[in-house]
Amino acid sequence: MVTYILMSKKLRREFYLLSRGEQRALLLVTFLLLLSLSIRLLVQFLPGREPPGIENFEREARALMAMLATADSLELLRADSLEATSVPFKGNAKSTEAKQSQDRPYSMIDLNRADSIQLLPLPGIGPVFAGRIVKYRNLLGGFLRADQLEEIYGMPPETVDRIRDRIYIDSTAIRKIHLDSATFRELLRHPYLDYDQVKALLDYREFKGGITTLKELQINQILHDTSLGMLVGYFELW
């Protein structure tokens, strides 16, 4: 208490030592600070007012987030699905806009260059399948044909059929395997080659001093016709 009194006297003495203009400025700043504090306190005790329809909007937002977290396809977020799982939100936007957007022209997607985000607009392709497509593409070195999508774990053939007319394949983006210099690890990494096939390839390459044509792999039964047919687009000779 004594300390408070001493401080008050000191502040009053220093205040009176200021010029008249400085005193006015200090009083104005003090008033504005008190006014700002009063407004903040007043806002805290005011009853909350929410815009009409906010409860419906929050329920719809929670439903959307739950669907996005569990969905394997963005199709689950289409307007017809939302109408069955959420409460309609009253707003200026018309409910038909979402359905009309499905009829708008779409751009073709390069299967060998698109990242996982760019693959999401494809029907039936959600974050899980988009990630698997990119991962399998990296293992292959690129896609040669759309049918290879069916080799991806869990990919339904129906989904592949649905996206055929929305994708194209740029074969120039394929990463080739140089048979004359590829290592055991590089060859084994390819999903179309197993351990025995890789060992046979390297043993033959070492014995012959190199591989000149892919035909000799077939003639010498280094690779079966089926395996060679699948790999011919990925092999490259010097």
Q: What is the DSSP string of the chain?
A: -HHHHHHHHHHHHHHHHS-HHHHHHHHHHHHHHHHHHHHHHHHHHSPP---TTHHHHHHHHHHHHHHHHH-SSGGGGSHHHHHHHSPPP-SSS-THHHHHHTTS----EETTT--HHHHTTSTT--HHHHHHHHHHHHHHTS-SSGGGGGGSTT--HHHHHHHGGGEE--GGG---EETTT--HHHHHHSTT--HHHHHHHHHHHHHHTS---SHHHHHTTSS-HHHHHHHTTTEE--
Angle at 151 between CA 146 and CA 157, to 5 degrees: 65
pLDDT for the residue 106: 66
pLDDT for the residue 17: 63
Q: Residue 127 is encoded by which pair of tokens?
A: 């974050």
pLDDT for the residue 107: 84
- Mean pLDDT by runs of 10 across the 238 residues of the chain is 56 63 73 76 58 59 56 46 40 44 68 94 94 95 95 94 94 92 94 94 92 90 90 88
pLDDT for the residue 7: 56
Contacts of 205 (CB under 8 A, 6+ apart): 179, 180, 211
Measure the N-to-C terminal CA separation of the chain; round to a whole number of Å.
94
Contacts of 233 (CB under 8 A, 6+ apart): 144, 171, 174
pLDDT for the residue 31: 78
**Domain 109-173 of CATH type 3.40.50.10490:** no
Residues 163 and 167: their CA atoms lie apart, in Å, by 6
Do residues 209 and 232 touch, judged by C-beta distance below 8 A? no
Do residues 169 and 112 touch, judged by C-beta distance below 8 A? yes
pLDDT for the residue 67: 56
